[in-house]
Structure 1
Amino acid sequence: MALVSGYHHLTMSTHGVQEDYDFYTKGLGLYSIKRTVLFDGVIPVYHLYYGSPAGDASTIITTFPFKKPGIFGRRGTNQSRTIMQSIPVGAADFWVDRLNGMGIPAVKGERFGLIRVSFAHPCGIPHELVENPDDTRTPIANPAQGVSGAHGIRGIYGGAVAVMDAGTMEEFLEHGMQFRREGSDDRGSMWIVPEDNGLHSALEIVIDRDSPQGTWTLAGGTIHHLAFNTGNEENQYALKARLEGMGYTDVSEQKDRNYFKSMYMRSPGGALFELAWTVPEGWAKDEPADAIGKSLVFPPWFEDRRAEMEAGLEPAQF
């Protein structure tokens, strides 16, 4: 039995707060589903969540805008490289026209037989919208931003990971994570992420032996981690035990992320993976279910520092 069912979320360290918020909500038509702060360390940095109106697990993109602290990273190899989201078949031309019209250079291409639109976040992180015929999720319509159900993003398609040594990473994906190889090309390989309700997400490997080692810390302009959904705590601990039993012993202890519980591990290819499951209260743990993402919320352990942290956050209009 697969212990993972699809992605939970994808997380980046970006630059400016306003450009980040506008890119995902006004550009890509996603909804703000949570505004909080970085739970680790003491630097006052926003943690912004975007996705479907209800914040469904397989739709969530999250960011840490690091412009104000002035911490910037290096994109390179042995690091997650590309954020990928799924769109309906035939929607690529709409997105090429829309993004270019908004001043976001976008081009249409293909890999593994799938049409995709390539562009970049304002901080430079590569993004792709992939026409996925196997994805049956309802597209995210956002009429206020000019995105209809015919073209809207369905959710996460996956991520691309750049590696120097494909063999060790592929062994980990197949035997550790229980992913299935779907194809290979001269650049790398494509792996299917198990799903409870059908095939609609993947992880792509890009062999890169020329770029410098990418940054692994929380630093602007880089992807921090790819999070996979274990569905519940039992599967999470079972996967931790499976990986540790195979010798992948750097799986972290469980961390409380308020809305979900997480474990982290550095994959052999360098990309940081998260194993996550949503707690029963979900996004409504600290906001009304019909008003998630409307206010700035803090985890209980930061409430006594709220004023200090709010003063340190980069100003933005949400």
Structure 2
Amino acid sequence: MAQALVSGYHHLTLSTDGAQEDYDFYTKTLGLYSVKRTVLFDGTIPVYHLYYGSKHGDASTIITTFPFKKPGIYGRRGTNQSRTIMQSIPVGAADYWVDRLNARGIPATKGSRFGLTRVIFAHPCGIPHELVENPGDTRAPIVNPAAGTTAQTAIRGIYGAGVAVFDIDSMNEFVEGGVGLKLEANSDEGRMYSVPDNLGPHSVVEVIEDRASKQGTWMLAGGTIHHFALNTGTEENQVALKARLEGMGFTDVSEQKDRNYFKSMYVRSPGGALFEIAWTVPEGWAKDEAPDAIGQSLVFPPWFEDRRAELMQGLEAADF
């Protein structure tokens, strides 16, 4: 296996639909905290970029969304695309979540994959989600009294991402030899790779083979997962991982992009899923808000200040 240049997940990013339903789903139903409210930094269309996670925005807890409610712009879920968002819950909490989700009008059932009990449901825009009982996860639960979650039930953070591919063998060298993940299971359920992390065995990438579905869309459009980001921790590790991937022939690794709170590079995997490698800048989420008040106001990066009025006018109304 390649040298570990990543240490867990940094975040997962989806293109959803309405901003209000998205905010309510993650903060009120799933009990995450608002970590940052800003806008999409790429392109010219005014779109929110919303971040959810633990109260202080710890790495490996962050889910981010682009509520992409634009006429005629909607994605197609399919193969050769990231498919499932997975978060970790305490062992024994699955029944609580099945009951809670169904009571709130979100159909949920229990299932099992790779020996772990899961709660299976979907975001209001249709993106599959799972809450996974992982006995190896020692992170503190993200208790949110306002949402009614407790230490016995609350989400702990990211468990992983599921990827659907037409040819499952196409991913192995990229995931193991390139990114440096470890193959933990290989069965008719698919392949499970663990993400190196000093916090314990609590995060994975799961790959399944899907030869029946059409190709999923890769553009920024509602109803699809856009990318998932692995945490390199430092710029040095990020640059080293870029060099390793390019040396293997994956030469479409992007140049570094400034996301204000972190620095990112992107690479399209052979199976289609978009991987990001990222590290958080020293100021982190407190770069433009007080540390005890992150995620409470709508903020813009310095290079968008001259577009504030234009962007505000084009953003969807929502009660955050």
Contact 1:68/1:314, CA 8 A, preserved across alignment:
no
Q: Which amino acid aligns with 2:295?
A: G
Query: How far, CA to CA, are the matches of 1:205 and 1:174 in structure 2?
Result: 12
Query: How far, CA to CA, are the matches of 1:148 and 1:157 in structure 2?
Result: 19
Q: Deviations over 1:42-66 (max 9, x none)?
A: 1000000000000001000000001
Where do 1:295-306 residues align within 5 Å?
295-306=297-308
Q: Which residue of 2 aligns with 1:12?
A: 14
Aligned residues: 318
SS of the residue 2:169 aligns to: helix
User: Which of 167, 172, 175 is equivalent to 2:174?
Assistant: 172
Query: How far, CA to CA, are the matches of 1:73 and 1:114 in structure 2?
Result: 30
Q: Which residue of 1 aligns with 2:209?
A: 207
SS of the residue 1:305 aligns to: helix
Q: Which residue of 2 aligns with 1:52?
A: 54
User: Which of 98, 109, 112 is equivalent to 1:107?
Assistant: 109
| TM-score normalised by L of structure 1 | 0.99
User: Which of 61, 64, 74 is equivalent to 1:62?
Assistant: 64
Query: How far, CA to CA, are the matches of 2:295 and 2:181 in structure 1?
Result: 33
1:307 aligns with 2:301: no
Query: How far, CA to CA, are the matches of 1:105 and 1:156 in structure 2?
Result: 21
Where do 1:1-318 residues align within 5 Å?
1-68=3-70, 70-318=72-320
Q: Which amino acid aligns with 1:220?
A: G
Query: How far, CA to CA, are the matches of 2:314 and 2:126 in structure 1?
Result: 25
Query: How far, CA to CA, are the matches of 1:201 and 1:56 in structure 2?
Result: 15
Q: Deviations over 1:83-114 (max 9, x none)?
A: 00000111100100000010000000000000
Query: How far, CA to CA, are the matches of 2:12 and 2:71 in structure 1?
Result: 22
Q: Deviations over 1:18-59 (max 9, x none)?
A: 000000000000000100000000100000000000000100
SS of the residue 1:274 aligns to: strand
Query: How far, CA to CA, are the matches of 1:71 and 1:220 in structure 2?
Result: 7
Query: How far, CA to CA, are the matches of 1:140 and 1:94 in structure 2?
Result: 16
Query: How far, CA to CA, are the matches of 1:170 and 1:27 in structure 2?
Result: 36
The CA deviation at 1:187 is 3.3
Q: Which amino acid aligns with 2:57?
A: G
The CA deviation at 1:185 is 2.1
SS of the residue 2:263 aligns to: strand
Query: How far, CA to CA, are the matches of 1:214 and 1:292 in structure 2?
Result: 34
The CA deviation at 1:70 is 4.4
Query: How far, CA to CA, are the matches of 1:67 and 1:88 in structure 2?
Result: 34
The CA deviation at 1:183 is 0.7
Contact 2:113/2:189, CA 8 A, preserved across alignment:
no
Contact 1:85/1:130, CA 8 A, preserved across alignment:
yes
- Which runs of 4 or more aligned residues in structure 1 lie more than 6 Å from their structure 2 counterparts after TM superposition? none
Q: Which amino acid aligns with 2:307?
A: R
The CA deviation at 1:69 is 5.1
SS of the residue 1:58 aligns to: coil
SS of the residue 1:57 aligns to: coil
Q: Which amino acid aligns with 1:169?
A: M
